[in-house]
Amino acid sequence: MHRLVVAAAILITHTSLAQFDEQVVEETTTIQVPGVKLKVKTQRVGAPESSSPAPAPSRPQPPPRAFGAERFSVEYSPLVGVPASTIKVVSPEGGSAEVWNEDGSLAGAFSVPFNFTARHGSYYRFIISGGDGALLLDKKLELKQFIGGVVKFKGASAPAAVAAPAQGMADAEFDALVAAVDDAGFGNEKLGVIETAAQGHVFSIEQVGKLVDLLGSSDEKVGVVERTRAKIVDRQNGFKLLEHFSFSAEKEKVRKLLK
């Protein structure tokens, strides 16, 4: 009988502990003492099974659409406040936008107005919605080297474009241009880089002189002036370019180009 009392005490202890646990397993146990055979139900305390939640699926990109392009204007130019390789969305103010990478991943979600800067030469999908959630634009836009772009809803107010500074190309952008010309292989490639930059930037005479010094042959040096002359902001200082040329024939060509 003493053994039976001990066994019952143990069973009661287990039962008391179980009430504090989240998972209790009920079992039937046979207890046998001299002259007595009992079957009792016991409760075994067990740790609750844990299961890790499945990772949330990545957000899928909306299906391809071409929408709203006629309601927006996209202007690429050397605007003040719009760095190179940047798209600035200025309207509709208070709207929302998503920008998607070419690989289908989400590059970012934004509130209009906003700036988006990324790798030049790549296309990004811009999805713009109004304050009421209505889709306004779904279009791929290119990020261009040395040039910024402004996207605005037609008819919406937007900051007026400001003329490029009279001192020529911004220092940081000009340094990037010099590095790109250095990286180019042959003279024609270097001239091609300069010609591309001239499509959206202006230059000072001093900057043109530095570009001239990056080229080797006489024709290539004159070619720099040919490709930049229409974008020189201080042509009255054109005489300073002559010191970058060694021969009279070169200098005469430069004088004629700058008239």
- Domain ranges within the chain, ordered by starting residue: 2-46, 69-153, 171-257
Among residues 127, 125, 122, 139, which one has the least CA distance to residue 85?
122
Per-residue confidence (pLDDT) for residue 162, from 0 to 100: 45
Strands 123-129 and 96-100: antiparallel
Q: What amino acid occupies position 232?
A: I
Per-residue confidence (pLDDT) for residue 87, from 0 to 100: 94
Per-residue confidence (pLDDT) for residue 59, from 0 to 100: 73
Per-residue confidence (pLDDT) for residue 81, from 0 to 100: 75
Mean pLDDT, the chain cut into blocks of 10 residues (259 residues total)? 42 41 56 60 52 57 85 83 89 92 92 93 93 89 90 66 62 93 90 92 94 92 93 89 92 90
Q: What angle do CA 50, 44, 39 make, to 5 degrees?
A: 150
pTM above 0.75, yes or no: no
The total number of residues shown for the chain amounts to: 259
CB 144 within 8 A of CB 79: no
Instruction: Determine whether domain 69-153 maps to CATH 1.10.12.
Output: no
Residue 195: which H helix or E strand, with range?
helix 187-198
Q: Which residues pair with 37 in a beta bridge?
A: 32
